[in-house]
């Protein structure tokens, strides 16, 4: 007998902030606390559950638009599909890097999400834009306290799309 946990698939998205031609990439992250972090502050990226019947990229796009107040990103670079607990299941994590992002002035803000799995999330968070160097430093210093966020951030920073923009 082995404990197996049947849980929803999830997405994590590293979101590149609006960047002008020739500028170093910047990223949108949250400063927040989470219930299981014992009151500690963590940097965080977009995360959410894949709704039943929803494709992971569709979930990633939905979560970015909802959590970033209407931000729309042209490109979602798939970084991989991973188990977060290889002995017990826990669903799959689908990681993405979102680029080509801009504000959608016609977006509807604060849409009711009563039917969404896990809603409402009442944890406090503050959105901020950080440079690529700050993102690397935060990852090195363990400022993303959730291991899934750390892994997705590391994968995004190694993605060829970002390397091409810096050189």
pLDDT in tens, 37-89: 888 899 999 999 999 999 999 999 999 999 998 899 999 999 999 988 778 87
Phi, psi of 108 (to 5 degrees): -90, 120
What is the pTM for the complete model shown? Answer: 0.85
Query: What pLDDT sits at residue 111?
Result: 46
Q: How far apart are alpha carbons 90 and 93 in whole angstroms?
A: 9
Query: What pLDDT sits at residue 107?
Result: 54
* pLDDT tens string 132-145: 999 999 999 999 99
* pLDDT tens string 105-138: 665 544 444 455 555 555 678 999 999 999 999 9
CB 27 within 8 A of CB 129: yes
CB 4 within 8 A of CB 86: no
Query: What pLDDT sits at residue 63?
Result: 95
Give percent of the chain with pLDDT exceeding 90: 57
* pLDDT tens string 4-48: 777 889 999 999 998 878 888 999 999 998 778 888 899 999 999
Q: How far apart are alpha carbons 134 and 130 in whole angstroms?
A: 6
CB 6 within 8 A of CB 89: yes
């Amino acid at each position: 007998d082995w404990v197996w946990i049947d849980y929803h698939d999830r997405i994590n998205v590293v979101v590149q902030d609006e960047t002008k031609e020739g500028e170093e990439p910047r990223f949108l992250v949250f400063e927040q606390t989470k219930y299981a972090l014992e009151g500690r502050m963590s940097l965080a990226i977009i995360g959410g559950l894949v709704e039943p019947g929803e494709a992971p990229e569709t979930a990633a796009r939905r979560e970015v638009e909802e959590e970033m107040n209407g931000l729309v990103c042209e490109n979602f670079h798939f970084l991989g599909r991973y188990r977060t607990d290889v002995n017990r299941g826990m669903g799959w994590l689908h990681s993405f890097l979102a680029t080509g992002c801009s504000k959608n002035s016609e977006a509807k803000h604060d849409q009711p999400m009563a039917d969404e799995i896990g809603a409402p999330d009442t944890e406090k968070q503050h959105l901020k834009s950080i440079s690529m160097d700050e993102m690397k430093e935060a990852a090195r210093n363990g400022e993303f306290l959730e291991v899934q966020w750390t892994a997705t951030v590391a994968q995004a920073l190694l993605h060829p799309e970002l390397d091409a923009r810096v050189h």
